[in-house]
């Protein structure tokens, strides 16, 4: 099969920042460590009054196309993944194409456009669709543009409020990619769950604690499914990027994943002297005692130097951006991959031809775990990103300003709030059209 995968990537954060320790915790009268240590989050990104899922997506896509000197006719497909869409019929990809056509001389009239929905996992599903389209030989030498874009807002006062975020990740999917190839083996864990959903409503109904259990159960199933297709070992993977609703969730998932992957390997044997071997179900009379023993083993495992060295190398770097921007829903696992590669570049790590284990997840619920192989062009591509500048330049909002901006993006509120930042060289939301559609212009 031809090598297909991510050839280029772009990152676009919402331009406002809510500091969780300084502003959110203070207002809620909470210990800041609940957010910075417990959830592992320092700040959330929010869109300014003129930003939304379309502007963030279009701005990411434009920067990617300009960097790669692409024209609309080079793109055969635009897939947008989002769970923040404002239209039940017209896909966000058409709005994005409309924006881009304002600034390029040609158009995307021969590109197939769509919108994918399955909570946060639809970003990865869109990448899969694009890879399959190219692998099937239907692309006529054109690439696919996949954009994961979300304004991940919760109702004010909801348990998820601290985990909000907003931003877009654009990815160019093509043959002989520069960043990673997507390998064909995929493990799935999927079940009909009601842990997080938006039945005809903007903000999610969430059973927060249960959503964490469901995340872990589906991840375990996906890993089991992958292991039916290939062997795994903790040392196989340079990075393990997870869907990151907040880093504390990944802390739990990583321990479970490591325990699983280390079972029946030399790693389990080497650790046996220190913490014993992993409990096996056949040694227990009932499920509950087995689960208790597993928990006890996992707690000891995460204290070992072996585990901590692995966590610091394969997981921690993937959380560095999420901790500063919050949950980007469909973009979250792609932010995690990007963060890990950015860390590797900044630390001079040789990742050429190394494998990544990419663990995606969407509530409702489904996990997908697949492997990717880092390509020799990755460093040059990652060097082009402006992540640090974008994060530093965010406008730090006060609590009052947070309340205002939350209302601006609440579809049930009508507000008239001035933007906190000044747009420059970017697409902006510009009011409503005659059929209730959102309108956009490019501001020089
Ligand atoms: P909560 O009840 O506010 O927080 O909500 P908590 O009391 O459980 O505390 C959080 C952690 O901080 C705990 O750590 C505390 O111990 C710790 P843990 O015990 O779990 O390891 N803590 C402290 N640590 C240090 N110093 C302190 C301190 N105080 C507490 N002083 C909850 C947490 C996740 C429920 C909430 O944020 C929520 O509802 N979030 C939204 C749902 C969510 O993100 N679920 C994650 C899995 S589902 C998913 O990822 C899919 C999703 O992205 C949607 C999609 O797919 O579309 C959400």
pLDDT number for residue 1? 60
Q: Is the pLDDT reported for residue 249 higher than 80?
A: yes
> Is 83 a known active-site residue?
yes
Ligand 1 in reach of 39 Cβ (< 6 A):
yes
Query: What whole-number distance in Å separates Cα of residue 4 and Cα of residue 142?
Result: 12
Our mutation pick for probing the ligand 1 site, out of 40, 208, 244, counting the most ligand atoms within 8 A of Cβ, is 208
pLDDT number for residue 115? 98
Q: Is the pLDDT reported for residue 98 higher than 90?
A: yes
* Kind of pairing between the strands at 165-175 and 143-152: antiparallel
Ligand 1 in reach of 35 Cβ (< 6 A):
no
Query: What whole-number distance in Å separates Cα of residue 52 and Cα of residue 38?
Result: 29
Q: Is the pLDDT reported for residue 212 higher than 90?
A: yes
Our mutation pick for probing the ligand 1 site, out of 41, 117, 245, counting the most ligand atoms within 8 A of Cβ, is 245
Ligand 1 in reach of 160 Cβ (< 6 A):
yes
- Cα–ligand 1 centroid distance for 212 (angstroms): 8
Q: Of 243, 334, 343, 370, which is the active-site residue?
A: 243
pLDDT above 90: percentage of residues in the chain: 99
* Sequence-distant (≥ 6) Cβ neighbours of residue 253 within 8 angstroms: 215, 216, 219, 242, 359
Q: Which two tokens stand for residue 79?
A: 């897939």
Q: Render pLDDT for 387-399 as a digit per residue (tens, 0 to 9).
A: 999 999 999 999 9
- Cα–ligand 1 centroid distance for 162 (angstroms): 9
- Cα–ligand 1 centroid distance for 370 (angstroms): 26
Query: What whole-number distance in Å separates Cα of residue 442 and Cα of residue 322?
Result: 28
pLDDT number for residue 300? 98
Positive/negative CA dihedral, 101, 63, 5, 328:
negative
Our mutation pick for probing the ligand 1 site, out of 39, 121, 214, counting the most ligand atoms within 8 A of Cβ, is 39
Ligand 1 in reach of 329 Cβ (< 6 A):
yes
Cis peptide before 365 (omega within 30 of 0): yes
> Is 111 in contact with 179 (CB distance < 8 Å)?
no
Q: Which helix (H) or strand (E) segment is 344 a member of? A: helix 332-346
- Cα–ligand 1 centroid distance for 191 (angstroms): 22
Round the average pLDDT of the chain to a whole number and report it.
Answer: 97
Query: What whole-number distance in Å separates Cα of residue 30 and Cα of residue 354?
Result: 42
State which ligand 1 atom lies nearest to the alpha carbon of 162. 37
Ligand 1 in reach of 331 Cβ (< 6 A):
no
Strand, helix or coil at 439? strand
> Is 120 a known active-site residue?
yes
Q: Is the pLDDT reported for residue 308 higher than 70?
A: yes
Query: At what angle are helices 92-101 and 53-67 packed, to 10 degrees?
Result: 50
pLDDT number for residue 2? 78
- Cα–ligand 1 centroid distance for 39 (angstroms): 6
Query: What whole-number distance in Å separates Cα of residue 325 and Cα of residue 319?
Result: 10
pLDDT number for residue 180? 98
Q: Whose CA is nearest to atom 19 of ligand 1?
A: 38
Ligand 1 in reach of 24 Cβ (< 6 A):
no
Q: Render pLDDT for 130-185 as a digit per residue (tens, 0 to 9).
A: 999 999 999 999 999 999 999 999 999 999 999 999 999 999 999 999 999 999 99
pLDDT number for residue 182? 98
The DSSP call for residue 350 is: -
Q: Render pLDDT for 418-427 as a digit per residue (tens, 0 to 9).
A: 999 999 999 9
- Cα–ligand 1 centroid distance for 42 (angstroms): 14
In this prediction, residues 341-358 reach a mean pLDDT of 98
Query: Alpha helix locations (H) across 191-285?
Result: 208-227, 247-262, 266-275
Q: Of 10, 83, 115, 355, which is the active-site residue?
A: 83
Query: What whole-number distance in Å separates Cα of residue 180 and Cα of residue 3?
Result: 9
In this prediction, residues 58-70 reach a mean pLDDT of 98
Query: What whole-number distance in Å separates Cα of residue 89 and Cα of residue 388?
Result: 36
> Is 212 in contact with 367 (CB distance < 8 Å)?
no
pLDDT number for residue 345? 98
Ligand 1 in reach of 411 Cβ (< 6 A):
no
In this prediction, residues 318-335 reach a mean pLDDT of 98
Residue 416 — pLDDT band, cuts 50, 70, 90?
confident
Our mutation pick for probing the ligand 1 site, out of 190, 211, 246, counting the most ligand atoms within 8 A of Cβ, is 211
């Amino acid at each position: 099969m031809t090598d297909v995968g991510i050839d280029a990537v772009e990152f676009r954060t919402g331009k406002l920042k809510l500091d969780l320790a300084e502003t959110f915790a203070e207002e809620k009268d909470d210990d800041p460590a609940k957010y910075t240590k417990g959830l592992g989050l320092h700040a959330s990104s929010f869109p300014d009054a003129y930003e939304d899922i379309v502007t963030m997506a279009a701005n990411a896509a434009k920067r990617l196309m300009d960097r790669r000197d692409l024209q609309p006719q080079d793109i055969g497909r635009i897939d947008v993944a989002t769970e923040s869409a404002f239209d039940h019929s017209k896909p966000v990809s058409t709005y994005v194409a409309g924006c881009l056509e304002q600034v390029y001389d040609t158009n995307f009239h021969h590109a197939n456009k769509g919108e994918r929905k399955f909570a946060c996992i639809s970003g990865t599903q869109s990448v899969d669709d694009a890879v399959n389209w190219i692998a099937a030989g239907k692309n006529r030498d054109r690439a696919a543009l996949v954009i994961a874009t979300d304004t991940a807002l919760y109702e004010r006062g909801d348990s998820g409020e601290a985990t909000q975020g907003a931003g877009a990740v654009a990815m160019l999917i093509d043959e002989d990619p520069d960043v990673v190839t997507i390998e064909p083996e995929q493990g799935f864990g999927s079940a009909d769950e009601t842990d997080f959903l938006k039945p005809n409503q903007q903000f999610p109904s969430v059973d927060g604690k249960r959503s964490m259990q469901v995340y872990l159960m589906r991840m375990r199933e996906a890993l089991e499914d992958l292991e039916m297709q290939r062997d795994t070992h903790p040392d196989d993977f340079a990075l393990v990027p997870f869907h990151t609703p907040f880093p504390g969730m990944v802390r739990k998932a990583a321990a479970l994943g490591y325990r699983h992957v280390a079972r029946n390997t030399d790693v389990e044997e080497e650790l046996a002297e220190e913490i014993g071997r992993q409990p096996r179900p056949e040694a227990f009379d009932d499920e509950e005692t087995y689960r208790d023993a597993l928990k006890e083993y996992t707690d000891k495992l995460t204290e070992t130097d072996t585990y901590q060295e692995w966590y610091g190398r394969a997981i921690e770097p993937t959380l560095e951006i999420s901790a500063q921007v919050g949950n980007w829903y469909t973009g979250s696992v792609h932010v995690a991959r990007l963060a890990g590669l950015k860390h590797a570049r900044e630390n001079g790590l040789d990742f050429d031809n190394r494998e990544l284990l990419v663990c995606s997840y969407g509530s409702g619920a489904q996990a997908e775990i697949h492997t990717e192989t880092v390509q020799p062009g990755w460093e040059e591509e990652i060097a082009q990103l402006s992540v640090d500048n974008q994060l530093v330049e965010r406008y730090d909002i006060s609590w009052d300003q947070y309340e205002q901006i939350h209302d601006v993006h609440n579809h049930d509120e009508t507000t008239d709030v001035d933007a906190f930042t000044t747009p420059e060289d970017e697409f902006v939301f510009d009011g409503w059209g005659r059929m209730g559609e959102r309108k956009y212009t490019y501001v020089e």
